[in-house]
Amino acid sequence: MVGVAAVLVAVPALFRALQLLGGAYVLHLGVRALASLPRPAEELAGVAAHPLRQGFVTIVLNPKASLTFLSLLPQFVPARQHALPRTLLLALIVFTPALLWFQAVAVLVDRLGRWLRRPRAARGLQAATGVALTVLGAALLLEPLLA
C-alpha cells in the first residue's frame, strides 16, 4: 500500500488515470443500479453478495482514502523511533473503531431488513443509491478533467 501510494504521488498521470477509472466505475455502478430498477423485488433479493464485492472494489480503487491516511499517519510517528511498530499501532487505532462502526451498521441494516425488503422501499433505496452513485461518478470523472 505504501509503495502504491508513493508511486501515485510520484506519477501524477498514473494517479489521474486511476482517479478516472475509479470515477468511471462509480458511474457504472450508478447507471447499473438505475437500469435495474424495473426488476421485480424477488430478483433483487438474490444479489446480496454483489454489493459487498462492489463496495470492496470501490474502496480499493479510491486512491484518495489511502493517500489521506498515508499523509496523516507519518505525522504521529516520532523521528527517532522505528516507524513500523508505531505505524501498526496507529493503524490499529483507526481500524478498530471502523470495524466496530461497520458491524453496528450491519446489525442496524439487519434489523431494518424486513422493511428494506418491501418492494416499494427496495425500489426507493435502489433509486436513491443509483442517483447518488451516478452524480458522484460524474463528479469524480469531471474533477481531474477540469483540474
| pTM for the structure as a whole | 0.49
pLDDT exceeds cutoff 90 at 12: no
The per-residue pLDDT for 2 is: 61
Cβ neighbourhood burial of 58 (10 Å; 0-12, 13-18, 19+): middle
Q: How far is CA 71 from CA 5, 63, 147, in A?
A: 10, 12, 21
pLDDT exceeds cutoff 80 at 38: no
The per-residue pLDDT for 50 is: 63
Q: Is 1 helix (H, G, I), strand (E, B) or coil?
A: coil
The per-residue pLDDT for 31 is: 92
| pLDDT band at residue 52 using 50, 70 and 90 as cut-offs | low
Quickly list DSSP for 32-62.
HHHHTTTS-HHHHHT-SHHHHHHHHHHHHT-
Q: For residue 13, what are the contacts with CB-CB under 8 A and spacing of at least 6? A: none
pLDDT exceeds cutoff 70 at 92: yes
pLDDT exceeds cutoff 70 at 109: yes
What is the grid cell recorded at 86? 508505531
- What does residue 86 show for φ and ψ, rounded to 5 degrees? -70, -40
**Can you say whether the dihedral through the CA atoms of 69, 66, 139, 15 is positive or negative?**
positive
In the chain, where are the structural domains located?
Answer: 2-146
Which amino acid is present at 140? L
Candidates 71, 72, 64, 69; CA nearest to 16 is 64
